[in-house]
Each structure stands twice: as structure tokens, then as C-alpha cells.
Structure 1
């Protein structure tokens, strides 16, 4: 009897440890990112609240354009509640040795030498066909779920949201961008 109870407890704790191990995902940049395939327009499906997006109400996009120096021009745009289009332009640079990691700067170019004007931009999950991406960073204070199309199927969104939670992002605070999830 004692032996069967101990065996049962061992099995239960083993299953629990395996489930806990499956639950957590590393918060790290993807191991491969083709910047030319990543280039183009992405539609925001959801994001964690950020001060600089406080006025955005709809149609939020990020457009990446390759530059000859290996960097990307970044053009973020959104519509406000007053139906005004806000646009912000910056630049992204690759991080050496981390293909899925970029650093983004929206400050003027003459301030580019200051480390504090560059923010980490990690592609933490990417569709093999570059149809959707999940972007975050080491602090987990920001998160974007992006799509090549303005909408995303509910099942796909829920799966990405779940995996972001397993990476430690506070997904209960995610703000969906209008009617982007079907």
C-alpha cells in the first residue's frame, strides 16, 4: 500500500513538473529573421499599453523598408479618435549575433550615438511564411501582435496570446486594435 502511494505521488509530481516545464517558453528573439521578408507593412492586431500609443484608436500599422546599410526605415502610423493620421518615423538596426533582435530609434539621427535612444525590438515568434509576428523585448513591458492583413482569426490570436503569456508577458493588459480579431 505504501509503495503504491509513493509510486502514485512520484507519477503525479513527474506529470506536474513536465506540465510546468511545458508551460514556460523562453523570452528570446527568434533564431532567424530575414529582414527582406520582414520588410513591408504589418497591421497591429493587439499591443500592451504604451505612452506613445495613447492617442492611437484604429488602423495602426508598422512599415519596414530596407536601407542599403542593412538597417530598416521604420514608419509607424495610426488613426486617432479625431480621425487624424499620426505618423512616426525611425530606424531599426540589427543586433550582431542575434538575427531576431533589432534596436529601434525614433529620436533624431544626430542623437543616434546615445545608447538610451535605442530600444530593444525582439521578434519572439514568427510565422514561417511571415504572415504574423509577435514582437516584445527583454523587459516584457511591451508586446505587439502583428499581421500582414488587418484581421486575424480568433484561434490564431488566442494561440499567440497564450504563448506570449507563457513567455511572461502581461497579456491580460493587451489592447486589441478595433475589430482585428474575427
Structure 2
């Protein structure tokens, strides 16, 4: 069976979901961000127990096609921003259309309709959260962060960062109590 799981954004999420499957006696064949594959069918009693236990820890089984597609869009963006060593300078629309095998206009309209924001704004919010993370770690210069996240220049990164957060990257870095948001809450 193939399951689509909402809110899986990191390796800890994959471990948590795997533990919930194993608690009901089902051992996944593979687990990726947003997806779990099992070799066996799950009884309705086990499925209800699984749904409840996943919901209890912040996850949800997605069973309709549109919700799955929205979650796949989010997963691809999260994978691109948070799990890649460098973001390509390719258009986001080209990447999503090729990965999900849909026209970008359809993906964009669906995402906006369901989420109330555009794919581009979601992508920007993910990039800004990654910039915050990298600023807090203090291992890379702003120029290196800009290159890693596919910004055309440090000035553009700074301008977008200020537009979203109201702060300059330098000022944000100087704050002692920085508040980052969980990427699944964006």
C-alpha cells in the first residue's frame, strides 16, 4: 500500500512516522518525505489506529488527489530548499512541472486555491527560514548563503529577507533570542 502523509518535512519526521507504523505491526518497505510504502494491506481497524496515532503527533494521512498533490508540491520545495546542497538557478516552475508531471499553471492554480498563497510565496518563505537557520549557525557568510540558496546577489537576498521579516540579515544575526518557525507551519 502507498500512503501520503501530511507534514513530513525532515528525517526525524520519517522516523516518527515509521515508529507509528511499527506500533500497529506494519513495517514500511520505504519511507520518503510525505510518502510511506508498505508491502501489505492494512485492515480498517489498524488504519483507524494509525490515523489516530499519526494525528496525535502532528501528521495526517492524505487520501484525496488534490491534497496529495499540494503535499507533493510542498515536499519538493522543502527538499529543494532544506535538503539540497545548492539550489539550481532553474525556474521553480520547470522543476515542479517535471517532478510532478503536471503543467505548472495547474499546480499553481490548485496550490493558490487550496493554500490561499502562491507557490512562489511559499518558496520564498522556505528560503527565508533557511537563511535564518544558516545565519544562526554562523558558519557561512551572507555571500555564501546567497549562493547556496540560489539568490542572484546578496543585495537581493537582503532585500527579500527585510521584506519578509522586517529586519536586515545582519540585524537578525545579532539578535540573541531569534525565533524561527517550524517549516511545516509556513
TM-score (structure 2 length as normaliser): 0.28
Structure number with larger C-alpha Rg = 1
TM-score (structure 1 length as normaliser): 0.28
> Which has the larger strand fraction?
1
> Which has the larger helix fraction?
2
Q: Which has the higher contact order (CA 8 A, sep 6+)?
A: 1
